[in-house]
Structure 1
Amino acid sequence: MKRYLLLGLLSFAVVLPLHAAEYTIDKKGAHAFIQFRIKHLGYSWLFGRFNDFSGQFSYDEKNPAVAKVMVDIKPASVDSNHAERDKHLRGEDFLYVDKYPTAKFVSTGFKELGDGKASLQGELTLRGVTKPVEIDVQHIGHGDDPWGGYRRGFFGTTEIALADFGIPFDLGPASKTVELELSIEGIRQ
């Protein structure tokens, strides 16, 4: 009897981790974006994005608290639609890509809030500095795609202070923070 009970418990333990589906962020198909905006001297918004990033996430609808996210970003891929500005953004005043060629986000927690909203906590490493960040998340949708795969998408927003990540350039009092928008579509593996 003990043997059957032990086998039952072991099979239950083996099945539990299988519920969280693993997804690869679909950067290749241009179905994911990391965009930002910052006030330019307080007079207008300057928009940009990072063109080179990769990542994965796991998600279990029955147990969303175990969700995990990991994203690697190449800051040298910054694109603000202006070559000279992008060169400045890659330099020591901002992203300092020669010394810090990668940025990274690793989740530390996920909490469902209801109505398709959630809070994602994690650590962002930028310019060699790691700080906790919280991302407001909205579930966009999930389901089969036309190519025989299964996809899931989220949209997230957060705001970070430039000084928190050692960015020394002063754009004025209205430009101390940058807003990030993350549109993430993953393909189930």
Structure 2
Amino acid sequence: MSTQVSIPGYEVGTWVIDASRSEVAFQVRMLGFMKTRGTFDAFEGSVVLAENPLDSTVNAVISTTSVNTKHKRRDTDIQHAGYLNTGQYPTVTFASTGVRVDGDDFLVDGDLTALAVTKQVTLRLSAKAFETGADGKPVARFSATTQISNKEVGVTKGSAFINDTTAIELDIVATKQD
């Protein structure tokens, strides 16, 4: 039996992620103290909000070739085998498998597939706002965070210099579909 929750302004329906107003970012530590930050600039996805928010689903696809660390040589290196191997694995996907409440946040469990490896991850999600956009259409704003193990998803290069954990931060704006 699932628990019913209430979110101010919540609207049931299918919401499409607006990549032009959203961000998929990551951060990795090198040598234990230096941070490398980056984004993936090409991605798409949808959020289907159910009557009971805990029955909602999320699906997303990220283009690995769109990696952007603001350093062209590093971006090229990251696309090779041992890192993202974009030639063989051009996308990373996320498909939710469940939603739980945790205080004021939600935990969105799902399958993350990268480099042909599928791992269960949990996103800590916060519903920031449900509002009307400048065009009069409903807009939803979410933020989410998680961490993944580079080794577990198949990143084999750079392990002597790069910490195993990559932090992922999502700032998502989605518009409701008619």
TM-score by length of 2: 0.89
Would the aligned equivalents of 1:36 and 1:180 in 2 still touch at CA under 8 Å? yes
Instruction: Name the stretch that deviates more: 88-97 or 167-176.
Output: 167-176
Tell me by how many angstroms 1:140 deviates.
0.7
Indicate the percent of aligned positions where both proteins have the same amino acid.
28
| Partners of 1:171 and 1:164 in 2: CA distance | 12
2:172 paired residue number: 184
| Partners of 2:162 and 2:91 in 1: CA distance | 27
Rg: which structure is higher?
1
Tell whether 2:140 aligns with 1:160: no
Specify the code of the residue in structure 1 equivalent to 2:148: I
Structure 1 segments of 4 or more deviating over 4 A?
Answer: none
1:99 paired residue number: 88
TM-score by length of 1: 0.84
1:50-89 pair list within 5 angstroms:
50-60=40-50, 62-89=51-78
Aligned with residue 23 of structure 1, among 15, 30, 47: 15
Q: Which has the higher helix share?
A: 1
Tell me by how many angstroms 1:169 deviates.
1.1
Would the aligned equivalents of 1:59 and 1:67 in 2 still touch at CA under 8 Å? yes
Q: Which runs of 5+ in 2 are unaligned?
A: 1-10
Specify the code of the residue in structure 2 equivalent to 1:43: F
Q: From the superposition, tell whether residues 123 and 168 of structure 1 become closer, same or farther in structure 2 (CA, over 3 Å).
A: same
> How large is the Cα RMSD of the aligned pairs?
1.4
Tell me by how many angstroms 1:112 deviates.
2.4
Q: For residues 90-123 of structure 1, what are the alpha-carbon distances to aligned partners after superposition, in whole Å with 9 as ceiling and x for unaligned?
A: 00020000011111000000112342x1100000
Tell me by how many angstroms 1:180 deviates.
0.2
Q: For residues 78-98 of structure 1, what are the alpha-carbon distances to aligned partners after superposition, in whole Å with 9 as ceiling and x for unaligned?
A: 000000000000000200000
Q: Which runs of 5+ in 1 are unaligned?
A: 1-18
Tell me by how many angstroms 1:170 deviates.
3.1
1:150 paired residue number: 138
Q: Secondary structure at the match of 2:77?
A: helix
| Partners of 1:40 and 1:48 in 2: CA distance | 13
Would the aligned equivalents of 2:30 and 2:161 in 1 still touch at CA under 8 Å? no
Q: Figure out how many residues of one structure are paired with residues of the other and give that number.
A: 167
| Partners of 1:131 and 1:82 in 2: CA distance | 29
1:49 paired residue number: 39
